[in-house]
Structure 1
Amino acid sequence: MRLTVLGSATPYPTAENPCSGYLVEGGGVRVWVDAGTGTLGALQRQARLDEVDAVWVSHLHADHCADLLTAYYGLLYADVRLAAPVPLFGPPGVADRLAGFLTNGPVRSPVERAFAVTELVDGHRVELGGLTLGSGTVEHGMPAFALRVEEAGRSLVYSGDSAPCAALSRFAAGCDLLLCEADSARPPAEGERAVHHTPEEAGETAHAAGAGRLVVTHVSRFVDPEDAVVRAAGRFEGPVAYAAPGTVFDV
């Protein structure tokens, strides 16, 4: 199983780094995980749209799903020839959210011609080729999910966007690689609600889960990625890396 970082910027892309997006390959299939702004271009360095077997989206903030809009046009109105709509696994309401943006007249845009939509629920599991995709709810102040991908005894867990929570630590238990967001530069002030991890908290989540290694992603613009790695490593005894765009991790 292989993880390729398409982008990891938050909350908008830089000139060199798209927003959140990853390509997971294994078991004879390719899964585009999160479709943040700019990731469709980076995806095409790895695979054409008609070579993607499924799309999985953690939540409906634009920096994780905006390129579904451009993918829709690519799938239906360009040089891609679909044998069938691409399976799309996403939070409740994902199809109507897309249609709300794409529809420009009295007739609803045919989102379902491009995507075969399955709405995620806690505990959702699906077999794709030799991969098993499991989804679990996490805490982000809106419907949001983490992803667990398993193949032949190996496992990759992606936090999506989430505050530190017991649900994520349990969901990631024993994984070989934890891809964990670190979008907070500091812990929340008194009275504030946490919706993201700090780098230290990413390390703590990896430790609590017993992960084999940690990759920090979605790092705050107020934190240098190298500093984020150092801060996370102070709370986790295993290897720690940063999800720089274009980086490939074998699981």
Structure 2
Amino acid sequence: MISDDLQFTVLGSATPCASADNPCSGYLVAGGGARVWVDAGSGTLAALQRYCRLDEVDAIWISHLHADHSADLLTAYYAARYADLELDAPIPLYGPPGTADRLAHFLTNSDTRSPVESAFSVRELYDGHRAEAGGLTLTSRSVQHDIPGFAVRIESAGRSLVYSGDTAPCPSLTDLATDCDTLLCEAESAEVPTLRPQAHHTPEDTGATAHAAGARSLVVTHVGPYLTPEEAVSRAGKHYAGPIDYAAPGAAFTIG
């Protein structure tokens, strides 16, 4: 039985690779009678199965195609095709343009294209994309990363969760997160890069984005290897006065 309350569980939050006790980016969002697997970084399929089977997921949403957010789509394909699962239909998969061909290119081992569409019903994201999974509404916005990337606002029964994906601070994320109940925002960068365009939030940026959006609470995630979670939370708190948590693997949050 899925609660009607909007909630999410952290499957993993590591970057750039999984550690012994923390998979890469992935979250199980539940509410409104539905479950959505948000980002499928390496190691997250195994963590997902602590809470539900792959064939009990109503949709998958992918922020961008870097491996630490999408690599377990490959293992999910094999699970959907060859494990003891019973898919009534291919799983809706929302991802950046090119997601299906990217998967097929990796999985194809002959002259015949791998049938990724037998496991996933791939729908390409665009700025302003909207979708529904049960009682959950997902609104995606394009954000500022070094490859095409998206953030998502997930709403149910008047509650709202916004997930940044990977992005530098940008107006589209702030707009998407306006007045949300919880902002789940990355804080990968220890320092702002100076030799190339910024592609991630620093912890200070994370706090500033939460403040500018008027988010009611902040959960810091995707903390880079040169920061501790405690440092990231402390630094974000200098720019945001609301409650702040860290997305520790296995942590569960109820929204609102």
Shorter chain as normaliser: what TM range? Answer: over 0.9
Q: 1:57 aligns with which of 36, 50, 62?
A: 62
* Aligned counterpart, 1:123: 128
The code of the aligned residue for 2:48 comes to L
* Aligned counterpart, 1:187: 192
Q: 1:198 aligns with which of 185, 198, 202?
A: 202
Q: Secondary structure at the match of 2:140?
A: strand
The question of 1:217 aligning with 2:221 is answered yes
Provide the TM-score with structure 2 as the length reference. Answer: 0.97
Provide the TM-score with structure 1 as the length reference. Answer: 0.99
Counterpart Cα distance in 1 of 2:75 and 2:192: 35
Q: 1:242 aligns with which of 236, 239, 246?
A: 246
RMSD: 0.6
The question of 1:88 aligning with 2:107 is answered no
Q: Secondary structure at the match of 1:87?
A: strand
1:146 CA drift (Å): 0.1
The code of the aligned residue for 2:74 comes to L
* Aligned counterpart, 1:42: 47
Q: Secondary structure at the match of 2:184?
A: strand
Counterpart Cα distance in 2 of 1:166 and 1:192: 19
Counterpart Cα distance in 2 of 1:217 and 1:62: 17
Runs of 4+ in 1 over 2 A off after TM superposition: none
The code of the aligned residue for 2:152 comes to L
1:3 CA drift (Å): 0.7
User: 1:33-82 deviations in whole A, cap 9, x for unaligned?
Assistant: 00000000000001001101100000000000000000000001111111
1:142 CA drift (Å): 1.4
Counterpart Cα distance in 1 of 2:118 and 2:97: 18
Q: Secondary structure at the match of 1:156?
A: strand
The code of the aligned residue for 2:184 comes to L
1:192 CA drift (Å): 2.5
* Aligned counterpart, 2:149: 144
Q: Secondary structure at the match of 2:79?
A: helix
The answer for unaligned runs of 5 or more in structure 1 is: none
Counterpart Cα distance in 2 of 1:131 and 1:83: 20
Give the count of matched residue pairs. Answer: 250
Q: Secondary structure at the match of 1:3?
A: strand
The code of the aligned residue for 2:196 comes to E
Q: 2:177 aligns with which of 158, 172, 179?
A: 172
The question of 1:208 aligning with 2:208 is answered no
Q: Secondary structure at the match of 2:69?
A: helix
Counterpart Cα distance in 2 of 1:70 and 1:127: 25
Q: Secondary structure at the match of 2:23?
A: coil
Counterpart Cα distance in 2 of 1:161 and 1:206: 15
The question of 1:19 aligning with 2:24 is answered yes
The code of the aligned residue for 1:229 comes to V
The question of 1:111 aligning with 2:116 is answered yes
* Aligned counterpart, 1:162: 167
The answer for unaligned runs of 5 or more in structure 2 is: 1-5
